[in-house]
Amino acid sequence: MSSNSSELPTNTVDTLKLKIKADRIVDCIIFSQRMSKSWKFPSFILEDEQLLSEYFQPAQEEFLSLTFDERRQIVEWYEQLGQEIVPLYDGEFAEDALHGSPNRCNMVTLHEQDAILYGQVVRDFMRKVFAATVSEEDKERVELMFLSDPKLLQSTIEANTKRSR
Is residue 34 within 8 A of residue 103, CB to CB? The reply is: yes
Is residue 82 within 8 A of residue 37, CB to CB? The reply is: yes
Predicted confidence (pLDDT) per residue in 105-128, tens digit: 899 999 999 999 999 999 999 998
Q: Domain extents for the chain?
A: 12-161
Whether the predicted pLDDT of 52 surpasses 70: yes
3-state helix, strand, coil in the chain (%, to 5): 65, 0, 35
Q: Count CB neighbours of 79 within 10 A.
A: 14
Residues 6 or more apart in contact with residue 61 via CB below 8 angstroms? none
Distance CA 17, CA 62 (A): 10
Predicted confidence (pLDDT) per residue in 56-67, tens digit: 989 999 999 999
Predicted confidence (pLDDT) per residue in 2-42, tens digit: 344 456 677 999 999 999 999 999 998 888 888 899 989 99
pTM as predicted: 0.86
At residue 104 the predicted structure's pLDDT band, cuts being 50, 70 and 90, is confident
CA distances from 59 to 20, 30, 48, 81 (A): 7, 19, 17, 15
Residue 134 DSSP label: S
The pLDDT assigned to 5 comes to: 47
The mean pLDDT value of the chain amounts to 88
Whether the predicted pLDDT of 164 surpasses 60: no
